[in-house]
Amino acid sequence: MSSNAHFLTLDPEIAPLIAQMPNRPQNLTIEEQRAALHARFLQFQERMKPELPSDSEYQVQDHLVPVDSGEIKVRCVMPISSGPQETGPFPLLVWYHGGGYCLGSSDMDDFYLRTVAVKNRVVVVNVDYRLAPLFPFPTGVNDAYAALKWAAENATQLSASLSRGFIVAGQSAGGNFSASVALQARDDPFFAGRQLTGQLLQIPQVIHIRAQPEKYKTELLSMDEVTDGPYLSKKDAERFSELYQADPLDPRYSVLLAPSHSGLPPAYIQVSGLDPLRDEGILYEKVLRESGVKTKLDVYPGLPHGGHIIFPTTSLSAKVNQDFNAGLQWLLNRST
């Protein structure tokens, strides 16, 4: 039996919920997948409405960021000072949504990030990067990096101070972007004096499915152990990678292959146990830690990829969200 067997049994609260759901349609086009994801997003948004902070606790601004051959939208959520005891600007968090580089939008996490901003007293910049296959690699990650630079340059107008904390964060493909821009920013003179202070990687992809190094073969088993994951399968991962059209060996995508991981900001990583990407996240935390990076890792046995979003009322999903906020605070405490 695999030493990872304890990760692979569905959480007892989630198992019956999955059993009640209709079978996931196969061979959908990207357009059909986008429509299905949007419908799920609308349901999630309705569930989130009662949990939203009061309008008096935050404000929202949309901005356009120039990128190669166009512009992208960023949605900025800024807490409103709660009184004289809260003075000065807030830390800054730049967020990238998930969706396999091909799906989703900044709207997908909008309500959740409003709660994150108010609860954690951080300004959130939610990035609506362009999607593959119309915009293949490196467009998405270049958009992510352009938005990061824009956020750094415009922190003051967003009521943020990079000295209070400058975090990059994202989920799944967005976790890949977060790790990638953290590597780029480490080596870019643009960020001298305004370095990132943390990276929050939620269920991230860090290595191309066809670029797994031989020395890590025994540590990267989950892609074959969770071949038919409920919401991300090996086939899905292969298809998204093909549509994104990245060079498997390019460290802007396969961040695990970067020549060096030293000097990166502290990292908090969340990993789902029943996820083809599981072992990548676990291994990346190990590689960062062995490179001298401060790390914190939480793994959730029995949780499918994205399961904390699809089944938000379960105890395990609540724990993921609680840990997200605790992990963010851990990163912010590293920067002060």
d(CA 151, CA 125): 7
Q: Is 308 a catalytic residue?
A: no
Give the chain's largest Cα–Cα span.
59
Alpha helices in the chain (DSSP H): 14-20, 30-48, 110-120, 139-153, 173-186, 222-225, 234-244, 278-290, 307-310, 315-334
**Which residue is catalytic, options 97, 208, 305, 308?**
305
Are 167 and 199 spatial neighbours (Cβ–Cβ below 8 Å)?
A: yes
Give kind and range of the element (H or E) at residue 63. strand 58-67
Out of 11, 110, 128, 275, the active site residue is: 275
| 275 labelled catalytic | yes
Query: Pairing between strand 123-128 and 92-96?
Result: parallel
Residue in the block written with tokens 């046995």: 301
Q: How far apart are CA 20 and CA 116, in angstroms?
A: 30
Catalytic residue among 106, 172, 178, 335: 172
Q: Which residues are catalytically annotated?
A: 172, 275, 305
